[in-house]
Structure 1
Amino acid sequence: MGVVNIRAIRKEDNVQVAALIRKVLVDLGAPKVGTAYADVTLDSMFENYDKPRATYFVVEENNTILGCAGIAQLDNCKDNICELQKMYFLEEARGRGIGAEMLQKCLEKAKEFNFDSVYLETMPYMKAAQKLYAKMGFEYIGKPLGDTGHYSCPVYMLAKL
């Protein structure tokens, strides 16, 4: 194992990040419709997060991207809420504490951007992720907020900052 480095996404990361997200979703058996798999932004993640109050991180080891996550204003939501977006890790990155480190970095950035809360949507069977979210202050809420377009992700969680 090499040194793990979490850094902001760069334009040259776009291809690797899109491939990683699609691979993880396929590996986890997620539907390709109504999830991040079908998002048009997937192939231009750098450009998509190159705006105020948004950021996207990658975690790399030995020049290979092992995971990614970001935050941005929640679409179609008038409240001061950001969304934790597209947090995915390859199998070799799981169970090493990297997810907690990445999530912490995203929450710190959300505070820096003065958001009140962080919202996320996930799949019911993604139990390890939900355990991590709960440990980091997220609570289950009964209905979706905003409009993410991810109608195949029926688990909603919110963390106050």
Structure 2
Amino acid sequence: MSVIFRDILPADNPVMAAIIRRSIEEFDVPTEGTAHTDPTTDNLYQLFQTKGSRYAIAEEDGVILGGCGIFPTHGLPKGCAELVRFFLSPAARGKGLGVKLLEKAYEFAREEGYTSLYLESFPEMTRAISLYEKNGFEYLPAPLGNSGHISCTVWMLKSLFYEPNR
């Protein structure tokens, strides 16, 4: 498997929108109040031109496998960005790509000066939740910021400070 990681391009918009929507449907979670109905999902390249944001694409032999981004969601605490639109195609799951995309997101976030990452998800997305737990995300009792994704019921936060004892 020869996977490359690169910044999102305009031509990636329809493929990533399809991966995101199919994933949300696959896990049978609400479509309203999620990335499924968020109009920016169809224009990820444009969205990630926002200052303080970045989006990584995982690609193999010209095939997009998924992506993950960071975004300065309105209302988040100072120094915090949101981990957003983190989705892999079904064929790409279970191969360690999720961890590599998370590492890209951490790298991007640190380069942008963020000290923590926040995310929103669903308990039905068990493999994703497990990945977040294993990578130091901790549960929050309520949402932060104003993502507009009011249907999400899992909220997590990770400090990006290096942890030398781990």
TM-score class normalised by the smaller sequence: over 0.9
Relative to the length of structure 2, the TM-score reads 0.92
Question: Where does the alignment leave 5 or more consecutive residues of structure 1 unmatched?
Answer: none
Q: Which residue of 2 aligns with 1:101?
A: 100
Q: Which residue of 2 aligns with 1:50?
A: 49
Output the amino acid matched with 1:41: T
Output the amino acid matched with 2:63: T
Question: Where does the alignment leave 5 or more consecutive residues of structure 2 unmatched?
Answer: 161-166
Task: Give the Å deviation of 1:78.
Answer: 4.5
Task: Give the Å deviation of 1:16.
Answer: 1.0
Q: How far does the alpha carbon of each residue in 1:28-81 deviate from its partner, in whole angstroms, 9 at most, with x for none?
A: 212110110011101111010012211011111121111111001122235221
Does residue 132 (structure 1) correspond to residue 131 (structure 2)? The answer is yes
CA distance in 2, matches of 1:77, 1:26: 28
Q: Which residue of 2 aligns with 1:32?
A: 31
SS across alignment from 1:29: coil
Percent identity between matched residues is 38
RMSD over aligned Cα atoms: 1.1
Q: Which residue of 2 aligns with 1:6?
A: 5
Higher deviation after alignment, 51-60 or 97-106 = 51-60
Output the amino acid matched with 1:47: Q
Q: How far does the alpha carbon of each residue in 1:12-35 deviate from its partner, in whole angstroms, 9 at most, with x for none?
A: 111111111111111121211011
Output the amino acid matched with 1:107: Y
SS across alignment from 1:36: coil
Output the amino acid matched with 2:150: Y
